[in-house]
Chain A
């Protein structure tokens, strides 16, 4: 992902989540990278608005319903992981904090996606708005292997 695409998507995330009680409305950008996916939990009212907006922008939207017993692990293994393997990209969304924890661990360990943004709500149903993407150079850190000759 190039830096401009990341910045634009991040700004769009802020705008799209503007309706959520814990975020502030900012500018609206139709920043969509080709392989961005949106994950939304339709049991959260704020996520439903996010879902509609993402779909309107042409982003592939994947829905789960926490209250109906839908499972984030099943969605990851059957749908999200194969899609990310075929076409690496960004993942944005609004889900419960517990599902975000599971998603974040799976994404990091199996696809290398890392958290770029995460906004948590202090309210009852613990929604989280997030953006996962490839690690930037700073996140990857600097490997220091000063000498290989002595090995």
Chain B
């Protein structure tokens, strides 16, 4: 097996760096070969996974160990790539943007440092997953909920820093974050907001602190290594109702969005409601081959037959109402009335009281329970399933939603893919997620998925849309699309990067932000 080296570093220099890191971390926490190093690949790479190969991985267990790792990286000019647990699949997993980077894997920093029942927050380290935090809260009798994203194995910090989202009223993870501890490239440890008062009592209670606020600067960025973070937790409600409204027609999407927006704005519906495409809903229940064995996109008659048989809508709106039964009843009546004007809309709902729990993964997410059932999408096409996601932000208007949907569906069909997607509703925007599902053992399919993503991004940009997140392969392309005033935003990002990290050791290329030392490595734009 060919050994991957960091760029511009000789094998001898790299060996010395590895030895130095081993002395700090212990040899077992420095991974430089074999199956363990292979685990830092991107299993869903839409093309050549080797293009994003790591040279090694380091697993520190403390802030002091991280500082020592950074010192050595700076000494040898070796780029690092920070991951919390590295399971951000569809966007690159644990793999680095710059080939030969060394993964700084924070999974061993997995302490839940504090849970405050009164103020409803937790302070966690990067290795804490949603499953971990959920189990801790349950095992210790806390009446607090986590807000899991679709894949509960993800890190609470990692998902928040990537601006991920969940499905309860606390679904905007970046907005529910309060206070960070960050190690800068020079080893300096910073606590943001109220955390700058050493004996402080309000670090997780008040987001801004005093003077300029910096927390958002460390999201989707490479300005520091976040080692602690506060997260607000939702008090367990006395009851909750989970509703699903099924809609028969493709064009109903416009009405759904127009009806949903005012309900989100006036907080009748307070959770991140999901408008799920029929095929995505069906894919969680059955494999594609049960309905259609051909190649290319699934024909409309086959989709219609499948949806009818499975009793699934063309669009399926999932929403939740939390609170006392009286409040839920009042809100539910409003929701019922609002959607009654859509012909053939079918409303299903169930009320849960106290500790009652729903059974299915998507419903469990809306009840603050982590799950991994979202990965059932991998079975849709058969073989070794994989996916890469196109994630444009969509204003919360019916016209925009229909426009993005029809654009994505038509392009997907052109490249032989089904429209597998949906919209997660913020208040003024929708997160439109389309997944190109492919067989990772089929190089042709993987290449096509990669090509499709580029075309979708071009189409979206031409129509005035941009992505909120992108796979490693498209990070530069996505960043270049934010091009106002000849790319002033990216220039600002890189000016800050050079000031904070002159040696360019922290996650070069993350979200298209390259330090001066590696700026010539920028990819396709």
Residues of A participating in the B interface, judged by any CB pair closer than 8 Å: 66, 68-69, 71-74, 77-78, 96-99, 101-102, 105-106, 108-110, 112, 114, 120, 122-126, 135, 139-148, 150-151
Q: Is the CB of A143 within 8 A of B33?
A: yes
Please classify the interface of chain B as helix (H, G, I), strand (E, B), loop, or mixed, using the class held by over half of its residues. Answer: helix
Cβ distance B521 to chain A, nearest Cβ, rounded Å: 26
Chain B contacts to A: CB under 8 angstroms = 1, 12, 15-20, 22-23, 27, 32-37, 39, 43, 85-87, 107, 131-132, 135, 151-153, 287, 289-290, 359-361, 364, 370-373, 375-379, 382-385
Taking CB atoms, residues of chain A closer than 8 Å to B375 are 98-99, 101-102
Of chain B, the residue at the smallest CB distance from A96 is B379
Q: How far is B384's CA from A122's CA once the two chains are assembled, in angstroms?
A: 10
Whether B373 pairs with A139 at a CB distance below 8 angstroms is no
Contact A125 B287 (CB under 8 A): yes
Contacts of A96 in B (CB 8 A): 376, 379
Most buried by B among A98, A123, A144, A148: A98
Q: In the complex, what residues of A have CB within 8 A of residue B85's CB? A: 109
* 3 residue pairs, one from A and one from B, having the closest CB atoms: A141-B34, A73-B372, A141-B33
| Closest Cβ–Cβ distance, residue A125 to chain B (whole Å) | 6
Closest to B13 in A: A150
With A122-B383, A142-B34, A145-B18 given, name 16 new contacts (CB 8 A). A73-B151, A97-B382, A98-B377, A98-B379, A102-B372, A105-B153, A109-B39, A109-B85, A112-B36, A124-B287, A125-B287, A135-B36, A139-B34, A140-B34, A141-B1, A148-B23
Q: How many A-B residue pairs have CB under 8 A?
A: 126
| Structural contact, B35 and A108, CB atoms closer than 8 A | yes
Interface centre among B35, B39, B384 (most CB of A within 10 A): B35
Kindly list chain A residues whose C-beta atoms are within 8 Å of the C-beta of B384.
97, 101, 120
Specify which chain A residues have a CB less than 8 angstroms from the CB of B33 in the assembled complex.
140-144
Note all chain A residues with C-beta closer than 8 A to B1. Answer: 141
CB distance from A76 to the nearest CB of B (A): 8
Question: Known: A69-B361, A143-B32. Contact between A105 and B287, CB under 8 A?
Answer: no
Report chain B residues within 8 Å CB of A69: 359-361, 373
CA distance A141 to B43 in the complex (A): 20
B376:A98 contact, CB within 8 angstroms: yes
Instruction: Say which residue of A126, A144, A145, A146 sits within 8 Å of B287 (CB atoms).
Output: A126
Given contacts A72-B372, A109-B85, A145-B15, contact A77 B35 (CB under 8 A): no
CA distance A88 to B18 in the complex (A): 29
B3 and chain A: residue at smallest CB distance: A144
* A144 with B15, Cβ < 8 A, contacts A98-B377, A120-B383, A151-B20 known: yes
